[in-house]
């Protein structure tokens, strides 16, 4: 899923990193997320999930995930 160019388009649309987009996506699905990083800047970035992916984009992202079930999000 992360290799799909559409994911970058969504990250750009919301002006966030790929990691932030995927964290927000999982949180909006009700998943518990445990991001891992040894990089302080990335850790701080992971804390700033202060946006919401709109319903239409969530549906499209869910379809991408279903299509690429073998790729971990």
Contact 36, 68 (CB under 8 A): no
Cα within 13 Å of Cα(65), Cβ side = 12
What is the separation, in whole angstroms, between the first and last Cα of the chain?
7
Give the pLDDT confidence of 20-69 residue by residue, as tens digits: 999 999 999 999 999 989 999 999 999 999 999 999 999 999 998 887 77
Determine if the pTM surpasses 0.85: no
Give tens-digit pLDDT for 50-60.
999 999 999 99
Above 60 in pLDDT, residue 70? no
Q: Is the pLDDT of residue 72 over 60?
A: no
């Amino acid at each position: 899923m992360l290799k799909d160019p559409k994911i970058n388009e969504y990250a750009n649309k919301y002006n966030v990193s790929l990691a932030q987009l995927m964290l927000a996506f999982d949180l909006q699905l009700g998943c518990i997320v445990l991001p891992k990083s040894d990089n302080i800047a990335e850790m701080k970035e992971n804390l700033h999930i202060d946006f919401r992916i709109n319903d239409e984009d969530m549906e499209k992202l869910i379809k991408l995930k279903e299509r690429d079930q073998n790729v971990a999000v």
